[in-house]
């Protein structure tokens, strides 16, 4: 626990856990029976954790989605997949380490895995560019997805990015075009595509890997067109208004499931995925296999049509038609404007 980043709302739970550890050490050193006190503190800690995590605000979930101890793409690869073979390069002279791609097997079935990768320390974050891909990364991902489509391999993507890198070099090399191209091409592939939001699902950087037959999302991850801080900076000229923006953006997993943006919310272990990464990883693996088992029964054209229909269902609206009931008191009609006379010819 001492080596784990602690968020402010988690601190009361952590303090109780530390007291439990201290009592166990005293019990081991002195031989005194402190089991009753330890059991009582464990019960209090469990109750407090359940209470806090049952009432998390959208901003608190956003903070959890960024927790540095959450499992990242390569953690899922290491525990869920076998025969991993990473593929590098976009065939245009670049290899963006913020996106990892490779061939693997999931439950014995050959698949292609693509995901955004963050770092655990300063050196890794510089290598991975803090999980913010440049256009080279998206072009590498597209190259590997086309390879999957050619050989009939399902595609699994892991989404965890604050957004695509906004640097000058990325813009010069066509960041917007690379993202748009991925979205366009992913809509056409006739293989199963499953997208999993494991942390931050930010902006177009996430959407470039997010066009799938099924989109699943971890309980404490977020998915939005913009980060809360970015939204606050635009609307209120103050990034400190991030909590207020998080409320308005409807970016939590529950919100996304309610409006059909995602198809399943994967429960995390008590206290979040960073408390027990292996349990979270296995839960994701079970969800991926279940959806993949259903999708592989569909033909290529059916998969493409299913993906098209999924995104056509988003943003449904109702249209008023003639003949609907008129309110009891209709608003008074506006006076007709006076006719405008044509100017006299010169």
Structure-derived torsion over alpha carbons of residues 146, 195, 111, 177, reported in degrees to the nearest 10: 20
- CB-based contacts of 272: which residues, under 8 Å, 6+ apart? 53, 64, 67, 70, 220
Q: What is the pTM of this model?
A: 0.85
Question: What are the CA-CA distances from residue 74 to residues 202, 244, 307 (Å)?
Answer: 19, 33, 27
Q: Looking at the DSSP assignment, which residues form a beta bridge with residue 111?
A: 104
Take residue 159 and report the two structure tokens written for it. 């989404």
- CB-based contacts of 298: which residues, under 8 Å, 6+ apart? 192, 306
The pLDDT score that the predictor gives to residue 14 is 85
Q: Could you report the per-residue pLDDT of 37-70, keeping only the tens digit for each?
A: 888 888 888 888 888 888 899 999 999 999 999 9
Chain mean position to CA 171: 23
The pLDDT score that the predictor gives to residue 334 is 46
CB 214 within 8 A of CB 194: yes
Closest CA to 66 of 227, 179, 204: 227
The pLDDT score that the predictor gives to residue 33 is 83
The pLDDT score that the predictor gives to residue 176 is 95
Q: Is the pLDDT of residue 327 over 60?
A: no
| Cα 188 to Cα 308: distance, rounded to the nearest angstrom | 9
The pLDDT score that the predictor gives to residue 346 is 45
| Cα 303 to Cα 191: distance, rounded to the nearest angstrom | 6
Q: Could you report the per-residue pLDDT of 198-222, keeping only the tens digit for each?
A: 999 999 999 999 999 999 999 999 9
Closest CA to 61 of 163, 174, 199: 199
Q: Is the pLDDT of residue 115 over 80?
A: yes
CB 45 within 8 A of CB 13: yes
Q: Is the pLDDT of residue 13 over 90?
A: no
Q: How confident is the model at residue 149 (pLDDT cuts 50, 70, 90)?
A: very high
| Residue 111 phi, psi (nearest 5) | -140, 170
Q: Could you report the per-residue pLDDT of 255-283, keeping only the tens digit for each?
A: 999 999 999 999 999 889 998 999 999 99
**DSSP element (H, E) containing 155:** strand 155-161
CB 13 within 8 A of CB 52: yes
Give mean pLDDT, residues 237-263. Answer: 94
Average pLDDT, the chain: 90
- CB-based contacts of 25: which residues, under 8 Å, 6+ apart? none
């Amino acid at each position: 626990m001492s080596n784990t980043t602690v968020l402010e709302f988690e601190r009361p739970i952590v303090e109780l856990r530390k007291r439990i550890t201290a009592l166990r050490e005293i019990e081991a050193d002195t031989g005194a029976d402190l089991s009753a006190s330890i059991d009582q503190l464990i019960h209090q800690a469990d109750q407090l954790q359940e209470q806090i995590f049952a009432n998390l605000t959208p901003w608190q979930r956003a903070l959890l989605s960024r927790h540095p101890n959450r499992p990242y793409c390569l953690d899922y690869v290491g525990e869920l997949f076998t025969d991993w073979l990473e593929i590098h390069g976009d065939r245009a002279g670049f290899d963006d380490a913020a996106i990892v791609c490779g061939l693997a097997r999931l439950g014995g079935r050959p698949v292609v895995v693509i995901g955004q990768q963050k770092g655990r320390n300063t050196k890794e974050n510089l290598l991975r560019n803090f999980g913010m891909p440049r256009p080279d990364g998206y072009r590498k991902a597209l190259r590997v997805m086309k390879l999957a489509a050619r050989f009939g391999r399902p595609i699994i993507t892991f989404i965890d990015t604050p957004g695509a890198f906004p640097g000058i070099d990325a813009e010069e090399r066509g960041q917007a075009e690379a993202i748009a191209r991925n979205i366009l091409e992913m809509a056409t592939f006739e293989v199963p595509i499953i997208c999993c939001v494991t942390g931050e699902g930010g902006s177009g950087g996430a959407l470039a890997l997010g066009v799938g037959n099924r989109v699943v999302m971890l309980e404490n991850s977020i998915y939005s067109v913009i980060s809360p801080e970015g939204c606050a900076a635009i609307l209120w000229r103050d990034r400190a208004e991030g909590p207020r923006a998080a409320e308005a953006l409807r970016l939590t997993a529950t919100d996304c499931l309610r409006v059909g943006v995602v198809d399943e919310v994967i429960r995390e272990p008590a206290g979040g995925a960073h408390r027990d990464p292996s349990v979270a990883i296995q839960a994701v693996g079970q969800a991926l296999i279940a959806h993949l088992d259903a999708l592989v029964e569909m033909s290529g054209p059916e998969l493409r049509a299913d993906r098209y229909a999924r995104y056509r269902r988003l943003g449904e609206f109702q249209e008023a038609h003639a003949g609907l009931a008129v309110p009891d008191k209709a608003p008074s009609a506006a006076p007709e404007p006076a006719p405008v006379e044509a100017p006299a010819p010169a």
